[in-house]
A and B are shown apart, each in its own frame.
Chain A
Amino acid sequence: MTQFDFMGKRKAAYIISILLTVIALGALAVKGLSLGLDFTGGTQVEVSYAKAPSLDEVRNELGEAGFGNYSVQTFGADTDVLVRLQQTFDEGIGDQVISALRAEGEQVNLVRAEYVGAQVGDQLRDQSGLGMLIALGVVALYVAFRFQYKFALGALISLGHDVIILLGFFALFGFDFDLTVLAAVLAVIGYSLNDTIIVYDRIRENIRRSQSNDLVKIFNDAVNQTLSRTLSTSGTTLLVLLALFFLGGDMIHNFSLALIVGVVLGTFSSIYVAAAMLLLVKLEREDLIPAKRENAADDELP
């Protein structure tokens, strides 16, 4: 079996991870997430033109119809236009926008209209942040219960690493962060944890089976033994995600993007961050073999 010296190169991995985390935190602090309608509240109307319109003209028409504080952008195809309005909702906003846009006799159809109250948005934002923290906390507890608290710590740092960099990625490029992307982030937590646990499970097994105290070698072996599995699973998952990204349509574009980035991050972090963290938190053989003395006594019996 090919053996890569993953642990030997962990310094390089640390640097990459820290760098990415710093960039992500910077992007989050400076640019912030561009939160979608779900979280900010407001109104958005998506319309579809028969012929691609000029956006300036669309803006003019909205201005003339008395809408204030709107933004207009194309959405997917250049015949699809997304209009965002700050104002509160009133009856049939979709129809109002449509009739304003039809002023010059264009052929326009309503694709969807959404309104989210500011309060609902705020509440959802708080709830989502809380949900993400609870998710991290619960899985950390589970890992602590099934493995050991040092493993939980390692898993938590590795998951936090993935989430922060993923959020930073969305902040840096200004992609819309809406409820579906949040769902993707949580799915990434699940996925990355899945990967991490596979590696940890192997580490635990190898520690119990070997007599060696050379943890670096044990970790290296474990990562190498699970490597082809990690790559296979990431491979199949990425394959379907790419299918979703290219074929799934605009509404889940950012959702699949978040998952693709997240799966790549999760794979990297389960190989490097999660295992390397166990070295940092000073995992020892004794942490996993509390009943050693007892077993040893059994063994010595003739």
Chain B
Amino acid sequence: MLNRYPLWKYLLILLVFIVGVLYALPNLYPKDPAIQISAANSGASVGDSEMARVDQTLEQAGIAVKSSESANGTSLIRLENGSQQSAARDMVSKALGQGYTVALNLADSTPQWLQAIGAKPMNLGLDLRGGVHFLLEVDMDAALDQRLDVNASAMREALRGDGIRYRNNTTGDNAIRFTFANADDRSQARALLNRQYNEFSFANEDDAGPTLVMTLTDQAVTDIQDYAINQNLTTLRNRVNELGVSEPIVQRQGPNRIVVELPGVQDTAEAKRIVGATANLEFRLEASDSTSADQQQAFDFRNDAGRKAALERDVIITGDRVSSASTSFDDSGRPQVNINLDGPGGSRMNRATRANIGRNMAVLYIEHKTRTRTVTRDGEQVEERVPYTERGIISLATIQSALGNQFRITGLDSPTEARELSLLLRSGSLAAPIYFAQERTIGPSLGQQNIDRGVMSVIVGLVLVLAFMIVRYKGFGLIANLALTVNLTLLIAAMSILGATLTLPGIAGIVLTLGMAVDANVLVFERIREEMRSRSIQQAIHTGYERAFTAILDANITTLLVAVILFSIGTGPVKGFAVTLSLGILTSVFTGVMVSRALTNLVVGGKSLKKLWI
């Protein structure tokens, strides 16, 4: 029979709708402002005595607590009032001291039964929540240079170990060059190094004496770059976690960029210092009388202007071998950093110190920095970044006995510096220097304002469209409106399920979808009106839906193509817009064709009607 769906189709649509409602529902529960407390050392947890202290502190300050809960060693304290959130954080942080990380959080208030089926509210983008957004660029050239330096150092050691003498050694242009006294030495060296370093391609050059040129293969360059960015991602994640931010985002974007988003953070300066810091340590022996001149490098002391010391060029270990670090004070009250090395680091340190008891060992503090200066190139003002490295000795002490994998270093300026150094050593160093390519800070008031305005425009837009459809299509307008409501529900449910982030342009996308979603129904209804002139009512409805379908399909596929392109070029908020637009197209085709058809069939299908209320 015309215009009747089999029962299973109605049930299927009903099922989709119910699932949609369930998964859209969590968005109706507002998130609670909360503070989250966790112990700074993993493994430790927040105990009852700490919680009692926190409760007391908050009570004294007159901050109303809604509820508090503990799970997996972290505690979450929900507050009644969002404006007291940062005050509460500061107070709790002070009361608990250094051993705990206290972070601002927005806690879900989704009821248990919804959580049980995995329903959760949409994530809010930074423009709706407030916070900081960084786009970091990884300096790939520097990553390559660093790797070359490390390799060159190891090669020098290998050559010396085999008693092969070389005259000069330089690095640059993805290549390491050794110059030898004669071709014989060179071929020996080549044979030796060729066995160990297969990421280099080897070549001989004779322009300035017998030279061995080892160039990184393209594959090796790609590997090093991948390693650099992945290592940086890991490091940044560690650091962001140490900052105590809830729901941070650290993501790779493109070949050499990293996005860091810290919701709720307002102190940009601190966040930038920690995220972008490139401090590291190097341990080297002081040059002795037997060290040849080209194996020496002189460095200034960081805290003792004018004092210098000559160190060996070879590095025993760097801060990368540190497995954990913490701060404390020595007997005379100066800050010190206690260091634990990992296995290989410990044994290398042990070997180097055992063989050199009585000599001095230096700890070098290294910072990679960039200087930006404006230069005129081809008549245009261009910004040029000049990377440079600052190295300074923080301590030089005599090796009394062989060191193991635990020791401490002193000579730091202040407790803050000691704390930051230990944080950086803990979280690992950046494999390549990074610099800030983009930064956005959004104040919390703007975020709330954006939400209010966005919700307002969705509601007003929806009401206007609903009214328009009723006026224009009467009874069928009602069907379109029901379909539109289902559409909005499904769109929100889809975004929540996919974990899409809602941004202000994303809300605009929802509003726009509402306006355009009725298009499918408009097409159908107009077609029905037209067909009614030449056919019976039931046939007109049937043909109307059939004929309008190709137009609906073509029109929506092309719009979807544009949305996908928008997604691929857009960043941040614009991506959010593209996501909502794409999902909106999919849901509106479903509701415009299936749901509205089902409703029409249910109401008028199979009945003998004289007049259609359209």
Contacts and interface: CB of A to CB of B under 8 A. Distances in A.
Contact of A89 (B439, B457, B460, B561): B439
A47 B518 CA distance: 40
A239 interface: yes
Interface in B508-537: 508, 511-512, 514-516, 518-519, 522-523, 526, 530
A271 to B, nearest CB: 15
Contact of B505 (A124, A128, A252): A252
Contacts of B562: 135, 138-139, 186-187, 189-190, 193
Interface in A86-143: 88-89, 91-92, 94-95, 109-120, 124, 127-128, 130-131, 134-135, 138-139, 142-143
- Listed residue (A226, A249, A252) with the most chain B CB atoms within 10 angstroms of its CB: A252
B504 interface: yes
Given A240-B512, A243-B464, A198 B523 contact: yes
A50 to B, nearest CB: 13
A92 B559 contact: no
A229 B559 contact: no
Given A142-B557, A198-B551, A112 B441 contact: yes
Interface stretch (B22-30, B180-188, B265-273): B265-273
- Listed residue (B456, B511, B562, B581) with the most chain A CB atoms within 10 angstroms of its CB: B562
Interface stretch (A52-60, A177-185, A277-285): A177-185
A240 B566 contact: no
Contacts of B317: none
- Listed residue (A109, A195, A228) with the most chain B CB atoms within 10 angstroms of its CB: A228
A115 B518 contact: no
B461 interface: yes
Interface stretch (A8-16, A230-238, A289-297): A230-238
Interface string A206-250: 000000000000000000011011001101111111011001110
Nearest to A128: B569
Interface residues of B, number: 71
- Listed residue (B457, B530, B581) with the most chain A CB atoms within 10 angstroms of its CB: B457
A259 interface: yes
B440 A114 contact: yes
A182 B574 CA distance: 9
B453 A247 contact: yes
B555 interface: yes
Given A128-B569, A143-B558, A251-B127, A111 B443 contact: yes
Contact of A193 (B461, B469, B505, B559): B559
A239 B461 contact: yes
A248 B515 contact: no
Nearest to A180: B505
Contacts of B462: 240
B505 A255 contact: yes
A34 interface: no
- Listed residue (B135, B383, B569) with the most chain A CB atoms within 10 angstroms of its CB: B569
Contacts, number: 220
Interface stretch (B1-9, B57-65, B83-91, B444-452): B444-452
B491 to A, nearest CB: 14
A301 B511 CA distance: 55
Contacts of A21: none
B383 A118 contact: yes
Contacts of B72: none
A187 B578 CA distance: 9
A142 B562 CA distance: 11
A256 interface: yes
A183 B461 contact: no
A114 B441 contact: yes
B508 A255 contact: yes
- Listed residue (A134, A194, A228, A256) with the most chain B CB atoms within 10 angstroms of its CB: A194
A259 B581 CA distance: 14
Contact of A179 (B268, B453, B530, B573): B573
Contacts of B507: 248
B269 A92 contact: yes
B465 to A, nearest CB: 5
A252 B516 CA distance: 19
B555 A113 contact: no
A117 B555 contact: no
- Listed residue (A119, A183, A195) with the most chain B CB atoms within 10 angstroms of its CB: A183
Contacts of B516: 191, 194, 233, 236-237
B530 A225 contact: yes
B508 A88 contact: no
B468 interface: yes
Nearest to B513: A240
Contacts of B511: 240-241, 243-244, 248
A252 to B, nearest CB: 5
27 contacts: A114-B439, A115-B439, A120-B135, A124-B571, A131-B566, A131-B569, A135-B566, A186-B563, A186-B565, A190-B562, A190-B563, A193-B559, A194-B555, A194-B558, A197-B551, A197-B558, A198-B551, A232-B526, A236-B464, A238-B515, A239-B468, A243-B461, A244-B457, A244-B461, A244-B511, A248-B504, A256-B508
Closest 6 pairs (CB-CB, A-B): A240-B461, A131-B569, A237-B515, A240-B515, A190-B562, A190-B559
Interface of B: 127, 135, 137, 268-269, 272-273, 372, 383, 436-443, 445-446, 449-450, 453-454, 456-457, 460-462, 464-465, 468-469, 472, 504-505, 507-508, 511-512, 514-516, 518-519, 522-523, 526, 530, 547, 550-551, 554-559, 561-563, 565-566, 568-571, 573-574, 577-578, 581
